[in-house]
Chain A
């Protein structure tokens, strides 16, 4: 098994993701104490926040790859940017769904338009959702790659705004757990959160590499088909 994972690092990454996900589920349901304020529903925090941070990370990674495409003309950077944004959108959907469930049980509403962080996250999500409309409305080629890269870079501006919205708006309905004084939770809760975040990031990186490998194989097969035609 050792040599097999050395030959195929993606299999090792997938195994690590599986282990971390299993560990985080175990910690969330059997180790971490129930929150005194919110009760059992606070356990949504351990999946909602890591999923949201993973979405931000992949939007940022997509923008970084877009910059590499425009700046260094790095081969394959356009495809990597596209796959990263795709991952970001998937995790964005999960953030909105888990957030809505948490909002319903905590605030009694599925959605609050008065909450700037929710609205800004929705704007960020819709912005990157529209990225696919742009990508699939232009013929493949260098022009499409450049347009998509510029669009992905514009979106990155929304990430820090969305992230800091709650602090800028100074509204306290949406909980603020991470402050300048550090995480406002017990050690066991912070440990569980860190394992959960590591699990989500590893899972997303694994899915990113699987999708990227599929896309690369698809483009090589298309080239081969054209050569044989």
Chain B
């Protein structure tokens, strides 16, 4: 088995912590962006719905 010195463990811990914190931060930002995308979809749907209903109503009006 590979012998690991105390200094190597501390160095690995220091670098590991930095990368872990950055990774967690990126994950949090990714989750937030996912939430914003869902909100945007919902708002787009709310804008689109009345327009589509209006277009449908216009199509049903008898001409002549």
Chain A positions within 8 Å of B, measured between CB atoms, are: 25, 39-41, 43-44, 47-48, 51, 90, 93-94, 97-98, 101-102, 104-105, 203, 207, 210-211, 214, 217-218, 221, 224-225, 228
Q: Is the CB of B17 within 8 A of A94?
A: yes
Partner of B43, one of A48, A101, A218, A228: A228
Query: On chain B, which size bracket covers the interface?
Result: 20 to 34
Q: Is the CB of A104 within 8 A of B43?
A: no
Main secondary structure of the interface of B (DSSP, over half): helix
A221 and B36 in contact (CB under 8 A), knowing A94-B21, A203-B22? yes
Residues of A within 8 A of B43 (CB): 221, 224-225, 228
24 contacts between A and B (CB under 8 A): A40-B5, A40-B7, A40-B8, A41-B10, A41-B11, A44-B11, A47-B15, A47-B18, A93-B21, A94-B17, A97-B17, A97-B21, A98-B14, A98-B18, A101-B13, A102-B10, A102-B14, A104-B10, A203-B22, A218-B32, A221-B36, A221-B39, A221-B40, A224-B43
| Distance between Cα atoms of A51 and B6 in the complex (Å) | 23
Chain B positions within 8 Å of A, measured between CB atoms, are: 5-8, 10-11, 13-15, 17-18, 21-22, 25-26, 29, 32-33, 36, 39-40, 43, 46-47
Q: Is the CB of B46 within 8 A of A228?
A: yes
Main secondary structure of the interface of A (DSSP, over half): helix
| Distance between Cα atoms of A40 and B8 in the complex (Å) | 7
Report the minimum CB–CB distance from A220 to chain B (whole Å). 10
A90 and B13 in contact (CB under 8 A), knowing A214-B29, A221-B40, A221-B43? no
Partner of B7, one of A25, A39, A51, A97: A39
Give 16 new A-B contacts, CB below 8 A, not counting A97-B17, A101-B17, A225-B43: A40-B7, A40-B11, A48-B14, A94-B21, A97-B14, A98-B14, A98-B17, A101-B13, A104-B10, A203-B22, A207-B22, A217-B33, A221-B36, A224-B43, A228-B43, A228-B47
